Structure 1
Amino acid sequence: LMGSLVTEETRWRWIFYINIPVGLIAVIALLIFLPANLSIRTSAWNGWKSLRQIDFLGAALCTTATICLLSGLTWGGERISAWTSPQVLGMLVVGIVLLVLFLFAERKASEPILPLDLFQNSIFSVGAALSLLQNMILLGLVLYLPLFFQGALAISSTSTGLIMTPFSVSMVIGAMLSSQIIGRLKRYRAVGIVAALIMSIGAFLITLMTPATGIALAIGILILTGIGIGPFFSLPMVAVQNALPADQLGVSTAGLRYLGQLGASLGIAIVGTVVTSSVSSNLTKQLPTTSASKLALSTSLQHGFLVVLIFALIALVATFFLREIPVKATQEEFAQEQVDKEPAKEPIRA
Structure 2
Amino acid sequence: MAQEVRIPAVSPAPGEGQTPRTVMLAISALLMGLLLASLDQTIVSTALPTIVSDLGGLEHLSWVVTAYLLASTAATPLWGKLGDLYGRKRLFQTAVVIFLAGSALCGISQNMAQLIGFRALQGLGGGGLIVLAMAIVGDIVAPRERGKYQGLFGAVFGTTSVLGPLLGGFFTQQLSWRWVFYVNLPIGAVALLVIAAALRIPARSAKHTIDYLGTFLIAAVATCLVLVASLGGTTWAWGSVQVIGLTILGLVLLAVFIRVERRAAEPVLPLRLFRVRTFTLVALISFIVGFAMFGAMTYLPTFLQVVQGVTPTLSGVRLLPMVLGLLITSTLSGQIVSRTGRWKAFPILGTAVTAVGLLLLHQLTPASGAWMMSVYFFVFGAGLGLVMQVLVVVVQNAVSYQDLGVATAGATFFRSIGASFGVAVFGTVFTNLLIGKLGDALAGRRLPPDMGPSQLAADPRAVERLPAELRPAVLNAYATSITDVFLYAVPVVLLAFVVAWYIREDKLRGSVTAPEITETLASNPVERSSRDEVARALSVLGTREGRHRIYETITAKAGYDLLPAASWLLLRIRRQGSVRPGLLADTIPVPLKSLTDASRQVEERGLAHREGLELTLTDRGARTADALSQAREESLTELLGDWWGPDRPTDLVRLVRELNSELCGSDGERPHAPEPPRDHAA
TM-score (norm. length: structure 1)? 0.85
Match runs of 1:1-350 below 5 Å: 1-19=166-184, 45-46=206-207, 50=208, 53-79=209-235, 82-280=237-435, 281-287=454-460, 288-289=463-464, 290-330=471-511, 331=538, 332=636, 333-334=639-640, 337-338=643-644, 340-342=646-648
Aligned length: 332
Question: How far is the alpha carbon of 1:122 from its aligned partner?
Answer: 1.4
Question: How far is the alpha carbon of 1:100 from its aligned partner?
Answer: 2.1
Cα distance in structure 1, aligned partners of 2:410 and 2:380: 26
Cα distance in structure 1, aligned partners of 2:346 and 2:190: 34
Question: How far is the alpha carbon of 1:338 from its aligned partner?
Answer: 4.6
Q: Which has the larger radius of gyration?
A: 2
5+ residue gaps, structure 2, are 1-165, 436-453, 465-470, 512-537, 539-635, 651-682
* Residues 1:20 and 1:318: Cα distance change in structure 2 (over 3 Å): farther
Cα distance in structure 2, aligned partners of 1:198 and 1:213: 21
Cα distance in structure 2, aligned partners of 1:157 and 1:257: 30
- Residue 322 of structure 1 aligns with an amino acid whose one-letter code is I
* Residues 1:273 and 1:61: Cα distance change in structure 2 (over 3 Å): same
Cα distance in structure 1, aligned partners of 2:271 and 2:357: 34
2:510–2:640 CA contact under 8 A, matched in 1? no
Cα distance in structure 1, aligned partners of 2:190 and 2:342: 35
How big is each residue's C-alpha offset from its partner over 1:74-133, in whole Å with a ceiling of 9 and x where there is no partner? Answer: 222535x63333333322321222122212221222221111111111111121112111
Give the match's secondary structure for 2:206: coil
* Residues 1:342 and 1:234: Cα distance change in structure 2 (over 3 Å): same
Cα distance in structure 1, aligned partners of 2:488 and 2:264: 36
Task: Provide the aligned C-alpha RMSD in A.
Answer: 2.9
How big is each residue's C-alpha offset from its partner over 1:271-314, in whole Å with a ceiling of 9 and x where there is no partner? Answer: 11111111124343222340000111112112211232222211
Cα distance in structure 1, aligned partners of 2:292 and 2:188: 25
Question: How far is the alpha carbon of 1:36 from its aligned partner?
Answer: 8.1
2:430–2:481 CA contact under 8 A, matched in 1? yes
% identity of equivalent residues = 32
Question: How far is the alpha carbon of 1:25 from its aligned partner?
Answer: 8.6
- Residue 56 of structure 1 aligns with an amino acid whose one-letter code is Y
- Residue 490 of structure 2 aligns with an amino acid whose one-letter code is L
* Residues 1:335 and 1:54: Cα distance change in structure 2 (over 3 Å): farther
Q: Which range is displaced more, 304-313 or 271-280? A: 304-313
How big is each residue's C-alpha offset from its partner over 1:151-200, in whole Å with a ceiling of 9 and x where there is no partner? Answer: 22222211111100111111000101212221332111112212221111
5+ residue gaps, structure 1, are 345-350
Match of 1:347 in 2: none
Cα distance in structure 1, aligned partners of 2:393 and 2:269: 19
Cα distance in structure 1, aligned partners of 2:190 and 2:331: 23
TM-score (norm. length: structure 2)? 0.45
Give the match's secondary structure for 1:279: helix
Higher relative contact order (CA 8 A, sep 6+): 1
* Residues 1:316 and 1:75: Cα distance change in structure 2 (over 3 Å): same
